[in-house]
Amino acid sequence: EADIYQTPRYLVIGTGKKITLECSQTMGHDKMYWYQQDPGMELHLIHYSYGVNSTEKGDLSSESTVSRIRTEHFPLTLESARPSHTSQYLCASSIPAGELFFGEGSRLTVL
């Protein structure tokens, strides 16, 4: 059973607000990922990290930023949210060359 947690599960905010989506895992995995998914579409990789102090942008350009100060924690921040940021954000972690374990997701709505 994977232990990866995301908060908040649901968030509705106004345009221009700063938000942070939290992601924590207790499995000691070095690799962590953020995917973005809209209904009926594929999951797009927006950020990934292979360990502490390592972060890279994914295949889909995103205005969000991430940090990896501790192995278990990989938060995603939007400095100024816009309606175009409305989406589901999925955090995941993995062992090397293994399957990804996903959190339950954070559904963000920007008004």
Least separation, in Å, of the C-beta of 104 and another protein? 5
Is 95 strand, coil or helix? coil
> Which residues make Cβ contacts (< 8 Å) with residue 71, sequence separation at least 6?
28, 29, 30, 51, 52
**For residue 89, what are the β-bridge partners?**
36, 106
Q: Does 100 bind another protein (CB under 8 A)?
A: yes
DSSP code at position 41: S
Which residue, 13 or 43, has its beta carbon nearer to another protein?
43
Q: Does 40 bind another protein (CB under 8 A)?
A: yes
Q: What are the residues binding another protein (CB under 8 A)? A: 6, 9, 31, 33, 35, 40-45, 48, 50, 58-59, 88, 90, 92, 94, 96-105, 107
